Chain A
Amino acid sequence: MATSASYFDQLRKSRVWRSIFRSGTGASTLHRSLVIQQDVFLHLFPTKVRRRMLNIGVTWYLGTLTFGTFMILVSTGILLMLYYHPSVPQAYFDTKDLQFVVTSGLFLRNLHRWSAHAMVFLVFAHMFRVFYRGAYRPPREFNWIIGVILLLITLLLSYTGYLLPWDQLAFWAITVGSNIASAVPLVGNKVHFLLLGGNLVNANALLRFYVLHCMILPLAAIFFIAIHFWRIRKDGGLYTHPSQPPASSNISATKAVR
C-alpha cells in the first residue's frame, strides 16, 4: 500500500503530470480545493461539500443516478450507431441484425432501452424529490427551470428514439405523436411538416429524427446538464432544510472559493 501511494506521489511530482494538472502536490486543504477549482470538469462542482449532504437520505442520489443513466445511454448509443443506417430499406433490418447477428448487439440494445426507461423514471423521481423537499425555492428557482428543460429534452430523446427501429409500433406512435403537433393553433401544420420533412412518416422523418436523437438533443442535454451542475455550486450547494443544523466552520471557506 505504502509503496503504491509513494509511486503515485512520484508520478504527481513528475513534469508531465504537473504540466497537465497545475494544482500542485500536497494534501493540504488548499491543494485539495485547487484540484477541484482548477479542473475544467470538476470546477462545476463545489470545492467543499458537507459530509452530511453525502448521506443517501438527503438526495437519494437521484440526480447522480439520472446522469449515470445518461452516460450509459451516450456510450451504448454511440456503439449502436456503428451498425445502424437511418434509411427506410435498412433501418428495420439493422435493428434485427443488432439483436441476432452483431456480437453483444442484443445486450447493447437492451441496455440502451432499459436505461432510457430508467432515465425517464429517475428524472421524474428527482423532480418530485426536489419539489417535496422545497429545494426549488430561491435562490434555486433558475436551476428548477433548467431542470424542466432537461425533463423536456429527456422526453424528446425518448420520443425521437422510438421511431428508429422503424417497425409498426414506431411508425404509428410517431404518426399519432406528430399529429398532436398539428393541433397547435395556426402553425400546427407547418410544425408537423417541418418535424417530419414531409406530410407522412417517411424517409425524411426517419433521418430528421435520427439527427435529432443522435446529435441535436444529446448536445442540448450536455449543455444544460453542465449549467445544472454549475448552478448547484453557484446557488450555495445542495439544499439544506431549515430544521437541519447550519453549516459548520467551513462555510466561509466554501464562500471564499465559490
Chain B
Amino acid sequence: MRGTMPDEKQFHQSNSRNWDRRAFFVKLGLGSLSVAAAGTAVFGYQFLSPNVLFEPSPIINAGKPESYPLDSVTLDVNSGIYLIHSHEGFFSIGAVCTHLGCLTAWKPELGIIACPCHGSKFTRNGEKIEGPAPRPLPWYRVWLSEEGDLMVDRSTTIRSMQFLRV
C-alpha cells in the first residue's frame, strides 16, 4: 500500500462519479420527459374518446308482428334496419351498406337490396350479389317482448338464416 494510491483512486472515483452524476441527471431528465410525453399521449387519447354518447339505443321496438304482411320488406330509415316477414318467419338485417355506410334501399321490382352510393347489391337475405361491399348485410337478433312487440337488437349480430316464428 503506497500513500498515493488512495488519493489517486479517490480522485479517479470522484471524477467518474461527477461524470456519472451528470449522465444520471440527463437520463433522469430525458426519462421523465418521455414518461410525461407518454402520459400526455394517453391523456390526449382518453380525452378525445367521449365517455358518454348521446346516440340512439341499439334496441328497437318494431311494433306488432301483425303490422308486417307476409312476404314484406320494411325499411326503418331512422334505425337503419330492414324487418322482413318471409315464409320461414321474421328476421331483421342491417340496412347500412357494409362498404361505406350509406343507407341501402329495397327494390321490390327486382327483389334485391341496392345501395345508391356505389352500386352494391344484396339479396333479401343480405347476401352480397355484387359491388364493392366487402361483407353481407348483418343479421340482428329478433325476439318478441312480453307485450308481444317485435324487438330488434342492432348491437347483436347472429348467424344468418335464423328466423323468428310467431
Contacts and interface: CB of A to CB of B under 8 A. Distances in A.
Interface of A: 172, 175-176, 178-180, 193-194, 197-200, 202-204
Interface residues of B, number: 12
Interface string B107-139: 000000000010000000000000000000000
Contacts of A180: 100
6 contacts: A176-B102, A179-B99, A198-B53, A199-B55, A203-B54, A204-B50
Given A199-B55, A202-B55, A203-B54, A175 B101 contact: yes
B48 interface: yes
B54 A202 contact: yes
B57 interface: no
Contact of B102 (A172, A203, A204): A172
A197 B50 contact: yes
Contact of A199 (B48, B53, B102): B53
B49 interface: yes
A176 B101 contact: yes
Where chain B touches its partner, the secondary structure class is loop
A162 to B, nearest CB: 15
Given A172-B117, A176-B117, A194-B48, A200 B100 contact: no
A198 B100 CA distance: 16
Contacts of B102: 172, 175-176
A121 to B, nearest CB: 25
Interface in B50-104: 50, 53-55, 99-102
The 5 closest A-B pairs by CB, nearest first: A179-B100, A176-B100, A179-B101, A175-B101, A194-B48
A67 B101 CA distance: 36
Contacts of A202: 54-55
A176 B115 CA distance: 12
Given A175-B101, A204-B50, 14 more contacts: A172-B117, A175-B100, A175-B102, A176-B101, A176-B102, A178-B101, A179-B99, A193-B49, A194-B49, A197-B48, A198-B55, A199-B53, A199-B55, A202-B55
Contacts of A204: 50, 53
A172 B99 CA distance: 13
Nearest to B50: A197
